[in-house]
Amino acid sequence: MGIFADFTYKFAPIPAYDEDSGSATCIGGENLAIVNNDNLEGSWECVKSLFNEDMMNDYCKKSGMIPTVKTFAMADEYFTDDPVMKVFVENMEVAKTRGPSPIWPQISQVLRDMLQEVGTGADAETAAANGIKNMQQYVEK
């Protein structure tokens, strides 16, 4: 894929805690709104066009993303056959939406830091323990 760096890499699903718990990942973050304006009908037509399968898939292919509508991704070989994209499409089967939380930005940062530590060679159990400790400061407030 031309949008990614020129080096060898692979993606894998997030591992499960154990066989019974299964794997999960989060999904979400996409929002659209129409402001009060003189062309509400045109604004609504624009929003609807973004959720057209061909339009969404084309945009996602050009931007390196996967469609937010799972059936769109599952019906397009670009997303199901590509070794990188298919990992993310398959993960949509276990994806959960995250609920609104006033501390989500802090929790998200802790998760990013924890994954970065493990991705750069830190011990996973140590990184997880540090992540839990860092999250508790926000949860306990």
| pLDDT for 45 | 94
Structure tokens at 26: 């989060």
Contact call for residues 8 and 73 (beta carbons, < 8 A): no
φ and ψ at residue 26, rounded to 5 degrees: -100, 155
Other CB atoms within a 10 A radius of the CB of residue 106 amount to 16
Domain ranges of the chain: 12-98, 100-141
Start-to-end CA distance of the chain, whole Å, equals 44
96 versus 112: which is more confidently predicted?
Answer: 112
* Confidence bin at 2 (pLDDT 50/70/90): low
Query: What was the pLDDT predicted at 126?
Result: 93
CA 113 – CA 120 distance, rounded (Å): 11
- For the stretch 35-68, pLDDT in tens is 999 999 999 999 888 889 999 999 999 998 888 8
Instruction: Name 47's Cβ contacts closer than 8 Å, sequence gap at least 6.
Output: 32, 34
